[in-house]
Amino acid sequence: MIQSFDLLTEQVQKLFPEFQSIHFFESSANAAQDGELVMLSLDGEDKLLLLSDSSLFLDAFTGDSRGNCKLCPLSHENRLALNKCLPFTVPTAVGVEGASIGLGDRLGLAGFAHLAALGDYPVKPVLAQQSIRELNFTHRHFEEVIDAAAWAVFKAGWRRGYAADGDHLKKESDIAHAVDLGISMLTLDCSDWLQTLPAKAADLDKVYEELPAAVRLRLEKEYLNDVEAAELGIRIDLPTLKRVAVIYSEAIAFAKKIYRTYLEHADRAIDFEISIDETEEVTGAAAHYFFARELRDDGVSITSMAPRFVGEFQKGIDYMGDLKVFEQDLNRHAMIAEHFGHRLSIHSGSDKFRIFPLVGRATHGKFHLKTAGTSWLEALRVIAEKNPVLFRKLYQCASSNLAEAKSYYVIQTEIDSVPLNDLLEDAQLPALLNHEAARQLLHVTYGFMWADEELKTELFATLKEFRERYDEALVEHIGRHISALLG
């Protein structure tokens, strides 16, 4: 292992005199079979440094070789080579036990601080987690998202495992692609397959009759007077059965097909999460039970289920709704999840501080919680503090694109409820990030900021310059999530 970073600094200075400043991330130092690897920052740019006398080892990476050192960019190819050398940098499945947290990182800059925020809490990070919508808005590929996660894991020397989630995938081609790229978790978004109930109750019979007679016969035999459901306190009568069969049958068939085609015979364990949360229809206990049992009885294993809970889970702000009612709903879902052996998953989990203690308790620490935009908002907080001129420009861009952003994201923000920032002093800008309407505005309009090359360049430059402040803000903010969930 590297004996002295002072000596190594001297060595690197001699071999690469073109760089002025050198800083090693000591937590990244690792010995592989034929050489050593460490991450360092050279004039503000993170790179991988290899030390070895073996050309075979050095040749596995691309970069600039001098002496027994090789300086390598944090590229996709080098990430794949890193994965081969250091298996702990490969994403792995979480399974059905314990807690995990999805830590979406739109910028690809937050992973290192996310890991620091987890501390010693028994929670597995899902570092790579970007929905197709986010990838489109940020012009990133899923490869880059996994790359950023793997480099963060290496930088932090994080050996407790991490996961990569193909998040909210709906299309088979996207699923196939994500599985090829090495995801360790698939979140299947079933929303396109959920049927809406007919407006008139009388029409439900008609839609139900469209299911094949043999299917209806089986369902009625299995679910009416169902002892297993009764033991969970769930009574499924004929109208309830008709409702859940009509709403969920196609989604269940889709989930089975995806499992059989992509997951059942995969060369590695891949967590399978069923997401039925992206809908107006609150998932009742009978629906969760029906979906889970249909899958189990057909030999389909899932690791987690994300129901649509009662109340509002809006982006970047706290839970809206009656906590007592939510707790009852949560307890029922937790009990059903426990019964089938999967974990309960909570989406849009950023900043839902009111419900975190309930989630930890009701699930006995067996849950998955997804956060994403909240780390982006912390980045904007840092920009508000450090570069108010840029923040005002970003804010302006957000305000003028809010109407369009609202067609992609469900939020309540009305343009006139967002305080106009030209009335504010610079020192007041960071406090906008504590304002619900402003948070929602900035949460959903990132795609428009990205689309403006100038804004995007300046945004990254500012965060790079103040990355220690960004890390600190993330450790604080994500740390508050974890301690409320598991404290």
**Residue 381 to residue 376: CA distance in whole angstroms:** 9
Residue nearest to Zn ion (CB): 347
Catalytic residue among 46, 226, 271, 273: 273
Q: How far is CA 284 from CA 181, 211, 259, 307, 448, in A?
A: 35, 22, 24, 8, 37
Q: Is 277 in the site for Zn ion (CB under 5 A)?
A: yes
Of the candidates 114, 45, 39, the one whose C-alpha atom is nearest the C-alpha of residue 470 is 114
Between 288 and 347, name the residue whose CB sits nearer to Zn ion.
347
Between 92 and 131, name the residue whose CB sits nearer to Zn ion.
131
Q: Which stretch binds Zn ion (CB under 5 A): 277-285, 295-303, 327-335, 372-380?
A: 277-285
Using an 8 Å Cβ cutoff, are 101 and 126 in contact? yes
Q: Under rule CB under 5 A, how many of the chain's residues touch Zn ion?
A: 3
Q: Least distance in Å: CB of 272 to Zn ion?
A: 15
* Amino acid letter for position 29: A
Catalytic residue among 134, 144, 165, 167: 167
273 carries an active-site annotation = yes
* Site residues (CB under 5 A) for Zn ion, limited to 347-386: 347
Q: Least distance in Å: CB of 276 to Zn ion?
A: 9
**Residue 357 to residue 345: CA distance in whole angstroms:** 15
Between 147 and 167, name the residue whose CB sits nearer to Zn ion.
167
Q: How far is CA 8 from CA 39, 264, 276, 300, 335, in A?
A: 12, 47, 53, 53, 55
Structure-derived torsion over alpha carbons of residues 326, 331, 333, 334, reported in degrees to the nearest 10: 130
Q: Least distance in Å: CB of 240 to Zn ion?
A: 24
* Site residues (CB under 5 A) for Zn ion, limited to 333-352: 347
Q: Is 134 in the site for Zn ion (CB under 5 A)?
A: no
Instruction: Give the DSSP letter of residue 1.
Output: -
Q: Least distance in Å: CB of 346 to Zn ion?
A: 9
Using an 8 Å Cβ cutoff, are 148 and 111 in contact? yes
In the shown chain, the binding pattern of residues 237 to 276 toward Zn ion, with x for contact by CB under 5 A and - for none, equals --------------------------------------x-
Q: Is 46 in the site for Zn ion (CB under 5 A)?
A: no
Between 275 and 374, name the residue whose CB sits nearer to Zn ion.
275
Q: Least distance in Å: CB of 309 to Zn ion?
A: 11
Sheet with 69-72, strands from edge to edge, namely 22-31, 36-42, 45-51, 69-72, 64-66
Between 28 and 130, name the residue whose CB sits nearer to Zn ion.
130
Three-state DSSP state, 271 = strand
Q: What H or E segment, with its residue span, contains residue 39?
A: strand 36-42
Q: Least distance in Å: CB of 283 to Zn ion?
A: 12
DSSP H helices, 265-372, are 285-297, 323-340, 356-362
* Amino acid letter for position 161: G
Between 52 and 304, name the residue whose CB sits nearer to Zn ion.
304
26 carries an active-site annotation = no
Residues classed as catalytic: 167, 273
Binding stretches for Zn ion (CB under 5 A) = 275, 277, 347
